[in-house]
Structures are given as C-alpha cells and as structure tokens.
C-alpha cells in the first residue's frame, strides 16, 4: 500500500490520534464515510443523466445544484472540513481589515 510498512502506518496513526484525539476519530470516520457515500451517489446520478441524453443547459443547472448540495453535505458531515472553512473565512476577514 503506497510503499508504507507497518511501522510507518503506526506512526501516522499515532500522529492522527494526537492531533484529533481518540474521542473524535469515530466522528471523523463516520463523516468521511458519509461524504464518500454521497460522492458515489452524486457520481451515479450524473453519469445516469449524461447517459440518458446529451448535456444541455438544464442538466448543467442540475449538476451545479447537485454539487452545491454535495458541498453542504460534506461540510455538515465532516467536522474538520467545517472548522477549516471557518478558519479560512476568519483569515479572509483579517486580510480585508489589513488592506
């Protein structure tokens, strides 16, 4: 698996436990699993829509609506992503103030 041995995987796992804490790991795993499931669902919907007929303006609008829904779902399910987006918004506000 990517040339990583048991020792390397244990070290990476230990670092992850130190960063996020043992209590948050199941929550993060659940969120990532839900996000992956949602990605696969959207991928199936998009491929089935594209197979039925050619891409037109209505389908493009539908795809963008699906993408927005997917982004919201990922942000909702994965707490690390939500915190990262909040931090980015704060950083953007600070940049605006400094300019």
Structure confidence by residue, pLDDT tens digits, 57-94: 666 667 677 777 777 777 777 777 777 778 888 888 88
Number of domains the chain contains: 1
Residue 26 in any domain: the answer is: yes
Residue 72 in any domain: the answer is: yes
Please tell me the pTM assigned to this model. 0.42
Instruction: State which residues form the domain around 24.
Output: 6-98
Residue 86 in any domain: the answer is: yes
Burial zone of 24 (CB within 10 Å; 0-12 exposed, 13-18 middle, 19+ buried): middle
Task: Evaluate if residue 49 carries a pLDDT over 50.
Answer: yes
Residue 1 in any domain: the answer is: no
């Amino acid at each position: 698996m990517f040339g990583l041995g048991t020792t390397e995987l244990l070290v990476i796992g230990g670092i992850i436990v130190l960063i996020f804490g043992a209590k948050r790991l199941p929550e993060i795993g659940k969120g990532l699993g839900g996000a992956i499931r949602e990605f696969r669902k959207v991928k199936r919907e998009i491929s089935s829509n594209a197979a039925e007929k050619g891409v037109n303006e209505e389908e493009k609008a539908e795809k963008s609506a699906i993408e927005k829904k997917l982004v919201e779902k990922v942000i909702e399910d994965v707490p690390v992503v939500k915190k990262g987006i909040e931090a980015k918004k704060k950083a953007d506000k600070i940049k605006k103030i400094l300019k």
